Structure formats: C-alpha cells, structure tokens
Amino acid sequence: MSKFLDERYSGLAAYVPGEQPQDKKYIKLNTNESPFPPSEEVLKAVNESQIELLRLYPDPDGRVLTKKLADYYGVKPSQVFLANGSDDILNFAFMAYGANGRKSYFADITYGFYSVFANLHLSDYTEIPLEKDFNIDVNKFCGVDGIVFIANPNAPTGIALSLNEIEKIVKSNENNIVVIDEAYVDFGAESAVKLVDKYSNLLVVQTYSKSRSMAGARLGFAIGSEEIINDLHKLRYSTNPYNINRLTLVAGEKTIDSQSYYDDNCKKIIEARSYTKTELEKLGFSVLDSKANFLFAETDKIDGGELYLKLKEKGILVRHFTSERIKNFNRITIGTQEQMECLVETIKDILEGN
C-alpha cells in the first residue's frame, strides 16, 4: 500500500476472483463459466467489419441490445440497464442506495462481492445468517430498513427461493430497494422479472457470464422500474458512459437471436448436474439441492481443503472457501458430461488413496 492511498481504503479487503493458474491446462470447474462456446451467430457476427469499427465509441445506451432484451423479457426499454458484467450493476446499486452509512442486508453465506462493495461504499451492513441447512429464512429479510441483496439461486449453495418467497420479501420492503441477483437463474430457478411492473422497489440483475457463455466479454443487465433504471444511468454517466465495448454489444444482441441454442446448453448442464450429484452421493458426499450451474458438496471422508488441493494436483480446479461455516465444502462448476465423469473418477481415485 502506498502512503498516498486514501485512508478510507486502507483496510479494504478486496474481492478475490477464482484462480486462473497458467502452469498447465486444467479442467476448469472453479468460476461457474459455461463449458460451451457462444452460438454460431455470435461467432459470425463478431467479425472483421466489427473489429474495424473499434475506432468509434460504442453506443453509450446500447439501444439495439436494450430493445432486444426488453422485447425478450416483455418490459419497456426504459426498464433495462446494461453494464460491464453484473458486478458493475451491484456496485452501482450499493453506490446509489446503500452508501455512506445507509443500511444494507445480505446473507452471511452468499456472493462474496456484496460485503466488498458494502465496505467500499461505507455501507452500514448486516449479514443475516442462513439456517443450519443453508436455506434462507425469508422472514429475516422482510421489513428491514435498508437495501436488500439476495442471490437467487444463492451462491455458493445453489439453493433457490420460490417466486412467492421473493415476492414476500419485495412486498414487505416497500421503502427499500430489493436487488435479486439472478446470475444463475437460467439453470432451474424462477425469475423475478415477472414482478417488476408490480413493485417499483425491485431490481432484477442478470449476467451473460454463465448461461450465455460470455464471461470473457463482460456483459450484465438489470430490469426494474424506470425510476431505478434512471438512477443507475445517472451513476453510469458519472463514471463511464462507454462501459460496454462494441464487440460485446454485438455479441449480446446475437445471443438473444439464438436463444434456443442457449436453452439446450442449460438443459445439458442440468442433466450433468443431476448425474454429478447422484455420483457424489454414492461416494458419500452430501450435496446441497442446487438450481445453479454448480454443486456445493462435502464429505466426512476427506477434508474440503485437502480434496481441493488433490484435485488441483490432478488437473481439476474447483473452488474452496476458507470461512468457518463452509470450509469443508467445495463448489464444483458443472461442465460437460465428459468433464463431470472425469471429476467423479478422479474423486474416486483420491478417496481410494491414489
């Protein structure tokens, strides 16, 4: 740390992204990316003529993509906000509604960036403990006095709330914004987009990084009431109006045009998830009921940290967290069926002492 850094950032514990080692080729099951490439339409569209256009700024309002998303989700373009990944949107939401001593609420075990943003923006935040079985007690999120962040499905557990439960939280917080982070919603949970016209305090956040195979392009979007979307635009125009590059915008548009390809990929992931859960359970793991593209699993046969290291040695990366309540677990991204078969065989070998 330099002596020049503003004092308020000196204690900041920054977010730690999943590792990306360069020493060899791994089966990468640690950052919840898609194992499938973008669709043919996307691959064709991001071509030389688009690259030539890189000398020009992108449309700061991403109007073509905004309209396509609005049509797809049955909302008005003025209810859609685009950003450089959904992290960008979560950052704006904390900045707009939970900063400088204002209150924010999220689960104790959830996406690690919430507490990082809360600290960055000097939010007065409360981590609401999940139940013993890692479920969310909805009542604890009702009628609070600050912005609420809920990942649905939750990460790293994969457990999802029903739309009724989400509605209960949104309805009971009419004086606060409720952000539903749907990064993993396409793998089996119900989207709260249906509720945005009913509740002006609801902001639904989604990403192209998981089901839409575009983690490397950085694209996220939010859907909510016009008032909230306008607030977010104000902050975006005050930081970086060109936050989405041209190639990403084009790829994002073509993704919506080839939705059936992505729906098929989600089906494949759900099947591979079900296979992996069954096989891990046969090996003595307990595996939470995931509606996401990952499983959260532990066993008393091997320590979670040790399993993570042994898998890494054998060329498979999974994500291990060290916080007390979840340190015996590993979060395993669902890849292709072949990758998951390889994971299961490798874990068998490890448990047999090889």
Figure out which of the listed residues 42, 166, 183, 250 binds ligand PMP, where binding follows CB under 6 A: 183
Please list, in sequence order, all residues whose beta carbon lies within 8 angstroms of the beta carbon of residue 197, skipping any fewer than 6 positions away: 75
Distances (CA, A) of 217 to 112, 188, 227, 243: 21, 24, 28, 12
- Distance in Å, CB of 231 to ligand PMP, minimum: 20
Closer CB to ligand PMP, 222 or 316, in the complex:
222
Asked if residue 111 binds ligand PMP (CB under 6 A), the reply is yes
Binding to ligand PMP in span 19-38, by CB under 6 A: none
Q: Strand 147-151 and strand 103-107: pairing? A: parallel
**How far is residue 123's CA from residue 97's CA, in Å, rounded to a whole number?**
9
H or E element at residue 135: none
**How far is residue 46's CA from residue 245's CA, in Å, rounded to a whole number?**
12
Q: Which of these, 128, 119, 121, lies nearest to 148 by C-alpha position?
A: 128
- 133-165 per-residue burial string, b: 16 or more CB within 10 A, e: under 16: ebebebebbeebebbbbbbbbbbbbbbbbeeeb
> Using CB under 6 A as the criterion, what x/- string covers residues 208-247 for binding ligand PMP?
-x-----x----x---------------------------
Residue range at the interface with ligand PMP (CB under 6 A); choices 40-48, 82-90, 95-103, 268-276: 82-90
Closer CB to ligand PMP, 317 or 347, in the complex:
317
Q: What is the DSSP letter of 151?
A: E
Closer CB to ligand PMP, 96 or 214, in the complex:
214
Please list, in sequence order, all residues whose beta carbon lies within 8 angstroms of the beta carbon of residue 169, skipping any fewer than 6 positions away: 138, 141, 142, 148, 150, 178
Are 253 and 319 a contacting pair, CB within 8 Å?
Answer: no
Closer CB to ligand PMP, 276 or 293, in the complex:
293
Residue range at the interface with ligand PMP (CB under 6 A); choices 62-70, 80-88, 120-128, 224-232: 80-88
Distances (CA, A) of 190 to 23, 165, 169, 246, 268: 39, 11, 15, 31, 18
Asked if residue 181 binds ligand PMP (CB under 6 A), the reply is yes
Asked if residue 161 binds ligand PMP (CB under 6 A), the reply is no
- Distance in Å, CB of 218 to ligand PMP, minimum: 7
- Distance in Å, CB of 106 to ligand PMP, minimum: 11
Closer CB to ligand PMP, 58 or 299, in the complex:
58
Figure out which of the listed residues 155, 192, 228, 340 binds ligand PMP, where binding follows CB under 6 A: 155
Asked if residue 151 binds ligand PMP (CB under 6 A), the reply is yes
**How far is residue 248's CA from residue 345's CA, in Å, rounded to a whole number?**
37
Q: Helix (H, G, I), strand (E, B), or coil: what is residue 205?
A: strand
Residue range at the interface with ligand PMP (CB under 6 A); choices 58-66, 79-87, 247-255, 297-305: 79-87
Residue range at the interface with ligand PMP (CB under 6 A); choices 37-45, 127-135, 193-201, 207-215: 207-215
- Distance in Å, CB of 104 to ligand PMP, minimum: 15
Asked if residue 86 binds ligand PMP (CB under 6 A), the reply is yes
CA angle 236, 239, 245 (to 5 degrees): 70
Total residues interacting with ligand PMP, rule: CB under 6 A: 12
Distances (CA, A) of 257 to 99, 191, 261, 300, 308: 38, 20, 9, 46, 39
- 125: β partners: 104
Asked if residue 248 binds ligand PMP (CB under 6 A), the reply is no
Closer CB to ligand PMP, 83 or 350, in the complex:
83
Q: Which of these, 97, 190, 196, lies nearest to 148 by C-alpha position?
A: 97
Binding to ligand PMP in span 300-319, by CB under 6 A: none
Closer CB to ligand PMP, 81 or 299, in the complex:
81
Binding residues for ligand PMP, per CB under 6 A? 85-87, 111, 151, 155, 181, 183, 207, 209, 215, 220
